[in-house]
Amino acid sequence: MAGARRTPVHVKAASLLPEDVPRRIRVLLPLPLAGAYDYRVPEGLAVPPPGSFVEVPLGGREVAGVVWDGEADPTLPASRLKPLLRVFDCPAMTAPLRRLVDWIASYTLSPPGAVLRMTMSAPSALEPAAPTAGWRRADPPPPAARISPARARVLALVADGAPHAGGLLAEAAGVGPGVVRGMASAGLLEPALLPPDARFARPDPAHQGSVLTEGQADAARALRAAVAEHGFSVTLLAGVTGSGKTEVYLEAVAEALRAGRQALVLLPEIALSTQWLDRFSARFGCAPALWHSELTPRTRRDTWRAVAEGAAPVVVGARSALFLPFPDLGTIIVDEEHETSFKQEEGVVYSARDMAVVRARLTRAAAVLVSATPSLETLTNAEAGRYRLLHLPLRHGAAGLPQVSAIDLRTCPPERGRFLSPALVEAVNATIARGEQAMLFLNRRGYAPLTLCRACGHRMRCPNCTAWLVEHRLQRRLQCHHCGHAEPIPPACPACGAEGTLAAVGPGVERVQEEAAEVFPDARRIVMASDTIAGPAAASEAARRIVDREVDLIIGTQIVAKGWNFPDLTLVGVVDADLGLAGGDLRAAERTVQLLHQVSGRAGRADAPGHVLLQTWNPEHPVMQALIGGDLDAFMRAEADQRRPGHWPPFGRLAALIVSSEDEAAADRAARDLGRAAPQGDGFEVLGPAPAPLALLRGRHRRRLLLKARRDIAVQPILHEWLARVPVSNQVRVQVDVDPVGFL
Ligand code: ADP
Ligand code: ZN
Tell me: pLDDT of 195 over 90: no
Whole-angstrom CA distances from 362 to 93, 99, 309, 388 are: 14, 7, 20, 18
**Residue whose C-alpha is closest to residue 593's, from 572, 622, 566:** 622
Tell me: pLDDT of 8 over 60: no
pLDDT band at 2 (very low <50, low <70, confident <90, very high): very low
- Check residue 637 and give its pLDDT: 95
Torsion sign, CA atoms 689, 693, 696, 698: negative
Residues β-bridged to residue 613: 405, 573
How is residue 74 annotated by DSSP? Answer: T
Helices 95-108 and 112-119: angle between axes, nearest 10 degrees: 130
Tell me: pLDDT of 658 over 50: yes
Tell me: pLDDT of 304 over 80: yes
Phi and psi (nearest 5°) for 615? Answer: -80, 120
- Check residue 3 and give its pLDDT: 44
**Residue whose C-alpha is closest to residue 575's, from 433, 449, 434, 418:** 418
Separation of alpha carbons 723 and 725, rounded Å: 5
- Mutation test residue for ligand 1: of 216, 396, 569, the one with most atoms within 8 Å of CB: 396
396 Cα: distance to centroid of ligand 1 (angstroms):
6
450 Cα: distance to centroid of ligand 2 (angstroms):
14
pLDDT in tens, 332-345: 999 999 999 999 99
Give the residue-averaged pLDDT of 359-375. Answer: 97
Separation of alpha carbons 188 and 587, rounded Å: 63
CB atoms within 10 A of CB 584: 9
Ligand approaching nearest to the C-alpha of 479: 2
Separation of alpha carbons 180 and 422, rounded Å: 58
Give the residue-averaged pLDDT of 556-576. Answer: 91
Separation of alpha carbons 158 and 160, rounded Å: 5
pLDDT in tens, 160-186: 888 888 887 888 888 888 899 999 888
What predicted TM-score, i.e. pTM, was given to this entire model?
A: 0.89
336 Cα: distance to centroid of ligand 2 (angstroms):
29
Separation of alpha carbons 319 and 266, rounded Å: 6
Query: Is the separation of the CB atoms in 290 and 316 below 8 Å?
Result: yes
Separation of alpha carbons 73 and 408, rounded Å: 70
Tell me: pLDDT of 9 over 70: no
501 Cα: distance to centroid of ligand 2 (angstroms):
23
Separation of alpha carbons 373 and 603, rounded Å: 16
pLDDT in tens, 307-366: 999 999 999 999 999 999 999 999 999 999 999 999 999 999 999 999 999 999 999 999
- What is the strand order of the sheet 569-574 is part of? 403-408, 611-616, 569-574, 437-441, 553-556, 525-528
Check pocket membership of 216 for ligand 1, CB cut-off 6 A. yes
For atom 11 of ligand 1, which residue has the closest CA? 242
**Residue whose C-alpha is closest to residue 197's, from 309, 101, 48, 121:** 309
For atom 24 of ligand 1, which residue has the closest CA? 210
Picking from 131-140, 248-257, 510-519, which range would have the lowest pLDDT averaged per residue?
A: 131-140
Give the residue-averaged pLDDT of 542-566. Answer: 92
Query: pLDDT over 90 for what percent of the chain?
Result: 76
Task: Please state whether 581 falls in left (phi above 0), alpha (psi between -120 and 50) or beta.
Answer: alpha
Phi and psi (nearest 5°) for 23? Answer: -100, 20
Q: Sort 174 into a burial class: Cβ within 10 Å, 0-12 / 13-18 / 19+.
A: exposed
- Check residue 146 and give its pLDDT: 85
Separation of alpha carbons 26 and 47, rounded Å: 11
Atom of ligand 1 nearest to the CA of 211: 23
Q: Any alpha helices (H) in 211-351, and if so which ranges?
A: 214-228, 245-258, 274-284, 297-308
Spatial neighbors of 209 by CB under 8 A, at least 6 apart, are 247, 250, 282, 283, 284
For atom 19 of ligand 1, which residue has the closest CA? 244
- Amino acid in the structure at residue 521: P
Ligand approaching nearest to the C-alpha of 335: 1
Three-class SS state of 234: strand
For atom 4 of ligand 1, which residue has the closest CA? 242
Atom of ligand 1 nearest to the CA of 567: 14
Query: Is the separation of the CB atoms in 543 and 536 below 8 Å?
Result: no
Query: Is the separation of the CB atoms in 76 and 37 below 8 Å?
Result: no
Give the residue-averaged pLDDT of 607-620. Answer: 93
Give the residue-averaged pLDDT of 363-376. Answer: 97
Query: Is the separation of the CB atoms in 51 and 25 below 8 Å?
Result: no
CB atoms within 10 A of CB 230: 12
CB atoms within 10 A of CB 676: 9
634 Cα: distance to centroid of ligand 1 (angstroms):
26
CB atoms within 10 A of CB 370: 26
For atom 23 of ligand 1, which residue has the closest CA? 212
Three-class SS state of 261: coil
Give the residue-averaged pLDDT of 372-401. Answer: 91
- Check residue 742 and give its pLDDT: 86
**Residue whose C-alpha is closest to residue 314's, from 363, 271, 264, 254:** 264
Residues β-bridged to residue 686: 707
566 Cα: distance to centroid of ligand 1 (angstroms):
12
pLDDT band at 34 (very low <50, low <70, confident <90, very high): confident
Average pLDDT score over the chain = 92
Q: Any alpha helices (H) in 373-493, and if so which ranges?
A: 376-383, 422-433
User: How many residues comprise the chain?
Assistant: 744
**Residue whose C-alpha is closest to residue 502's, from 460, 543, 558, 554:** 460
**Residue whose C-alpha is closest to residue 373's, from 236, 249, 482:** 236
Check pocket membership of 563 for ligand 1, CB cut-off 6 A. no
